[in-house]
Each structure stands twice: as C-alpha cells, then as structure tokens.
Structure 1
Amino acid sequence: MRMIFVNLPVRDVARSREFFAALGFGFNDEYSNEEVLCVEIEDNIYAMLLEEKPFKGFINGEIADPATTEVLTCVTTESPDEVDALVTRALAAGGKPWKPTFSEGPMYGGSFQDPDGHVWELMAMRAEADATA
C-alpha cells in the first residue's frame, strides 16, 4: 500500500493544529510531537507540518517563502457544498482567501492560504451530467 506525505514548514505547530482541527481534519499523534504535526487528510494521505528546525533536517538549502507559491496542495471533496464549507471554515479559523471559487466543466473549486501562507485547493469532481445541469 502506498502512502503520501506532503511535508510543509510551519511557524507554530499548536496554531496549525487549531487551524486544521477547525476544518474538521484529524491527527495521527503517533507521528506528532511539539514540533511536528501529522494531519490526516484521508486514508494513506497525510500533511506533515514541521516547525523550522525539524523541517530543515529534511532539506538541502533554505526553506522557501510560501508567498512564492512553490506548491499547490489540492484535496478533493464530496461536493461543491463541502468546498464552500471548508473555505468558509478556513477563513473563520484565520486562513486567507486565495483565488475565487470557480465552476468549470465537471470541476468546482475553491482555495485558501493557511496561517503560514501555504495554498490549499479544494476540488469537487462532479459527473459530467451534473456539471452541465
């Protein structure tokens, strides 16, 4: 079985825990401590949020500024309503708006920046028949 771990630097793990808990995500405490937070996105998909010191142990060079948008992390949802709800909760929990919500063909998407500036996209993939309705 394959697993995906998206590793992102954060300034404050406790703040990140509050933010992602407000969005309804769970955590794997076996892989978390005061400097590292394992956010459970879905079965076998995790976001590892690491404070600067442990994150630097995994990279060569310097930590990139999230404002440069080096990566877009996209998570699918069950419906457009879930996209809207997650964006609303993210903004209420201290996230920032990113791009406007859009509907294009079978895709409905929204996005936000977390408190550290990382971009999270949310995408509902509708059946083609639903998209044309």
Structure 2
Amino acid sequence: MRMEHEVDTLLDEISKIDGVNKVAVINNITKKIERCINIHDRCDALVQAMSDVVRVNMKYSRLTEKHNEIEDVLITYSDEIHLLKPLFRTAKYFIYISISRGANIALTRLRLNETLERYLK
C-alpha cells in the first residue's frame, strides 16, 4: 500500500508540471496501466502502441554499437506531445505523459527529471 501511495504522489506531482495533461505508469510486460491521472478506461490501443514504441527503442539501443540507454522517447502530434520515459534499465515500467503542444517541452522534461530524481533515489 505504501508503494501505491508513493506512485500516486509521484503522478500527482508530475501532473502539476506546466503543460502536462495526462500521466500514467505503464507495465511494459503486461501492456497495462498500473496507475494514472486523467486517463479514461478505453485507452488499451494507446497503451499497447506506446509499449511497442518503448520496446522497439530498447531493442534498437541494445543492437547499436554504442549501447546507449534511452532517456525518453518524444512523439509529436499536431495537437499534443507524448513523452515516454522508461523508469529502469529493463523498461518493465515506463511513464507515459501527454503534454499540450504549446508547452515548453525542454522545461517540462527538466521538471520531470527533477521530480523523478527525488522519488527514485
């Protein structure tokens, strides 16, 4: 129960970052939402697609010579930006964030990284 409370607190703090509309922790193995804010129940296709994007990028990073770790993945649409942030090296979990198109994405990423640093120590 304590872990769920900490995750809920983390998501609440992320949702308060300027420009953030939706946020969720997604289990990349089961392709299911573990916890979320402002996401309705009928988003299975979105979650599965975003899980596939994270998986493909993780696979690509393992296959390249540099073996770089993925910091995040940005997907830009005409009306919003999706940010996918693996939580650990294995990317069993990742954070999905929907950001309004007019937001300062650099500042949003900075605030997100600061928030995660406090919670994932």
Output the TM-score relative to the length of structure 1: 0.28
Per chain length, whose mean CA-contact separation is higher, i.e. which structure has more relative contact order (CA < 8 Å, sep 6+)?
2
**Structure number having the greater strand percentage:** 1
Query: Which one has a bigger Cα radius of gyration?
Result: 1
**Structure number having the greater helix percentage:** 2
Output the TM-score relative to the length of structure 2: 0.31
